Amino acid sequence: MGQLLYRCQPPACKRHPEWAYGAVIYELNVRQFSPEGTFAAVREQLPRLQALGVDILWLMPIYPIGEERRKGTLGSYYSIRDYGAVNPEFGTFDEFRALVEAAHGAGMRVILDWVPNHTSRDAVWVAEHPEWYKRDPETGEIATPYDWTDTAQLDYDSPEMRRGMTEAMLFWLRETAIDGFRVDMAMLEPLAFWEGCVPELEAFMEAAGRRLFMLAEAEGPEFHRVAFDATYSWEVHHLLVDIAQGRVPEPAVALRERLLWEGEAYPSDALRMRFTSNHDENSWNGSEFQRFGAAARTMAAMTYLLPGLPLVYNGQEAGSDRQLAFFDKDCVDWRGLNGEWTEFYRDMNALRHTHPALWGGTRGGDLVAMDNSLSNKVFSVKRRVGDSLVMGLFNLSPDHADFEVHDEDFNGSFRQIGSPLLAELRSDAHFYLPPWGCFIYFR
């Protein structure tokens, strides 16, 4: 029968928008997405993203960037001068609204990156509401969080500031018809703030006949209690990097143990975002090819088999190996577009859309580990909902793997990702996987 690692069936914790359960998230950096770096240039690419199978467009911060202590030539997207405007480098407010409307017309949702912990040091709020900021106890100046020297620390002990933050978020929901937010460093604000703010945002959206989606850059079951639909799966990501870099003696055992813990600790309806790259990983730690090496494809496939929501960072669908500069213009390398990586992500997105077994939360199938004869190195799992059955075999080692799989479902005719032929499976047959290889079967 195998080992149940991750239960995805009720009871649920938080009701998500129906469109979120089977969604694929695409993170888009407007500045680096095209040579123009504009909303209009993004809009031109919506048909391509629709064909790729993207459901949720997550746009990195689009607001005006501060100039005081600016880093690099163009500054950090996360040093925001005005929560109520758009960066003129990207276009106009009306052009952004047109982008949202066009994305909705193509069947996609749009969420904005929201930065609630700090503003730029020359922000509108610094001039209008200096009392909304923390002060350095030694100098009396507005405090700077960490080494983010271009930012100013907001004070969540101020009820007026909290109100201002909620109103700023409501502004974007009301004026641009976006579908929600990705909240930067959500663990740095009091959880009580989010548990008060988000229901108000949800009430506004429901009155408008829409549903709100909230993604937290944070990890922990408590974020799913009231406020957030989805959280980052950082710990699994870091484990996969360690496995790919040979730092885990029994990789399949370690991964099963981590997922078993996660399946017990998190509510069954928690949507965990799975990824091999994002803007932070790419810019500060290197592309997925630098971090995962020969395991890059297998780890990318893994993000679709695990319960949750898969993320594609712009450029991954072109196999871009560029480590993008964070504070300067540095366009994605699109030369590989429509090549093997485009086909890979298109196939994986189509598999997710057509197989509810791979959906997130209580709409998806439980994650069950199938027994295999090389269980310390081979991670073999299945997920099922009704007639939808998907099984994955992952060699998590730099060695060739010759093994058997023993499971009642591992029998019959299946389709296989990357092959046009039917695969005939038997649980007593030997399977061979090359180093860091994977097979994904579906019926």
pLDDT tens-place values along the chain, 443 residues long: 688 887 765 555 567 999 999 999 999 999 999 999 999 999 999 999 999 999 999 999 999 999 999 999 999 999 999 999 999 999 999 999 999 999 999 999 999 999 999 999 999 999 999 999 999 999 999 999 999 999 999 999 999 999 999 999 999 999 999 999 999 999 999 999 999 999 999 999 999 999 999 999 999 999 999 999 999 999 999 999 999 999 999 999 999 999 999 999 999 899 999 999 999 999 999 999 999 999 999 999 999 999 999 999 999 999 999 999 999 999 999 999 999 999 999 999 999 999 999 999 999 999 999 999 999 999 999 999 999 999 999 999 999 999 999 999 999 999 999 888 888 998 888 899 999 999 999 99
Q: Extract the tokens encoding 231.
A: 């959280």
Per-residue pLDDT, 220: 96
Structure tokens at 243: 């496995």
Strand, coil or helix: what is 105? helix
- Spatial distance between the Cα atoms of 317 and 28, rounded to a whole number of angstroms: 12
Cβ contact 12:267 at 8 Å: yes
pLDDT at position 1 is 61
Alpha-helical runs (H) found in 311-389: 340-354
Dist CA 387 CA 300 (whole Å): 25
- From the DSSP assignment, how many helices (H) and strands (E) are in the chain? 13, 20
What was the pLDDT predicted at 432?
95
Q: Distance between CA 304 and CA 296 in Å, rounded?
A: 13
3-state secondary structure of 30: helix
Burial 317-346 (b: 16+ CB within 10 A, else e): bbbbebbbebbeebbbebeebeeebbebbe
Residue 225 to residues 106, 231, 271, Cα–Cα distance (Å): 32, 12, 12
d(CA 398, CA 244): 8
Please give the Cα distance from 243 to 237 (Å, whole number): 10
Residue with tokens 């009642």: 408
Residues in the chain: 443
Concatenate the DSSP letters of all residues of 255-305 into one string.
HHHHHHHHHHHS-TT-EEEE-S--HHIIIII--HHHHHGGGHHHHHHHHHH
Q: How far is CA 54 from CA 277, 368, 390, in A?
A: 16, 27, 20
> For 131-140, what is each residue's pLDDT tens digit?
999 999 999 9
CA distance 390 to 375: 19
B/e letters for 392-410, b = 16+ CB within 10 Å, e = fewer, are bbbbbbeeebebbbebebb
Neighbouring C-alpha atoms within 13 Å toward the C-beta of 115 = 23
Alpha-carbon radius of gyration of the chain = 22
Residue of 370, 438, 367, 371 lying closest to 401 (CA atoms) = 438
Closest to 394 (Cα-Cα) out of 427, 370, 359, 361: 370
Q: Which of 238, 190, 241, 194 has its CA nearest to residue 215?
A: 194
**Other Cβ atoms closer than 10 A to 78:** 22
pLDDT of residue 10: 55
Q: What is the pLDDT of residue 2?
A: 80
Cα–Cα distance for residue pair 195/180, rounded to 1 Å: 15
